Structure 1
Amino acid sequence: MTSTTREDTPVALEGEGVEARLKEIGGGMSVMYMRTAKGTDLAPVLKGLPYDLCQCPHWGFLTKGRIKLRTRQGEETYEAGQAFYWAPGHAPEALEDSEFMEFSPTKELDQVIAHAKAQLG
């Protein structure tokens, strides 16, 4: 059995107001621990992807804060203590300092992370 904690997971993406730690856990899936500061909008790093939105599905749990998720269909707000499924085609924005853990297909997540890194320079 393999286990992972936020502390033993390498930083995959770091920028103003955001820290993402990412580790492949097997079965074609990865776990990502994300911290976002209040006001952090991830839409700018998603520019250039289809519809300028993240195309990777995520299953996760918000442990702290509030996140507004924008999609082509509208917006939804998630609060600490909620589990979520974010389908492909979304852009999160932190309404408060937030922390969440998500599970995603490694291949799709790696593509989004590489794109975000390129956008950050």
Structure 2
Amino acid sequence: MPSANRMSTPVAVDADQIEGRYAPLGGYTVGFETYKQDVDPAPFFAGLPGDRCQCPHWGVVTGGRLTFRWPDREETYVAGDAYFAPPGHLPLVTAGTSIVEFSPTEELAATMAVVEKNLLAAGVQS
């Protein structure tokens, strides 16, 4: 059975705001993310339907605070909380937050293609 561990999964993203480690798990991607700064990535979802993340996520907050915003509500999770974020959300993350998150690989790849294009255009990623 496939598995992943935060410490043995290579760092894929090491930016000022985030360290991310990602591993495939049978049609899903597990992400181990640690946020070094407050992050509001809303502008980077521009171009997706509703300019919002279209990928569902299941996860656990292992430290800090994570908020998901939908047009009609917000939900905030803190260390120890498990969550499900259906499509149509925007995340808001505080410095010091760490999560373990599972996302369908195909939906995640489609969303991240748009996000990465926007990051590149903004000069945040090379």
TM-score, with length taken from structure 2:
0.85
Distance in 2 between residues matched to 1:41 and 1:13, nearest whole Å: 17
CA RMSD across the alignment: 1.6
**Alpha-carbon shift at residue 14 of structure 1 (Å):** 4.5
Q: Which structure's residues are more often strand, by fraction?
A: 1
User: How many residues of Structure 1 are paired with residues of Structure 2 in the alignment?
Assistant: 120
Distance between the aligned counterparts of 1:56 and 1:104, measured in 2? 7
How far apart, in 1, do the equivalents of 2:61 and 2:96 lie?
Answer: 11
- Identical aligned residues as a percent: 42
Aligned to 2:116: 117
**Aligned-pair CA distance for 1:57:** 0.5
Displacement of 1:18 in angstroms is 1.9
Q: Any conservation in 2 of the 1:13–1:117 contact (CA below 8 Å)? A: no
Q: Which shows bigger deviation, 111-120 or 58-67?
A: 111-120
Match of 1:117, SS state, is helix
Change in 2 beyond 3 A, CA 1:52/1:45: same
Alignment correspondent of 1:52? 51
Is contact 1:14–1:20 with CA below 8 Å preserved after alignment? yes
TM-score w.r.t. length of structure 1: 0.88
Q: 1:38 offset after TM fit, Å?
A: 3.8
Stretches of structure 1 that go unaligned for 5 or more consecutive residues are none
Q: Separation in 1 of the partners of 2:40 and 2:14?
A: 14
Structure 2, unaligned runs of 5 or more? 121-126
Partner of 1:104: 103
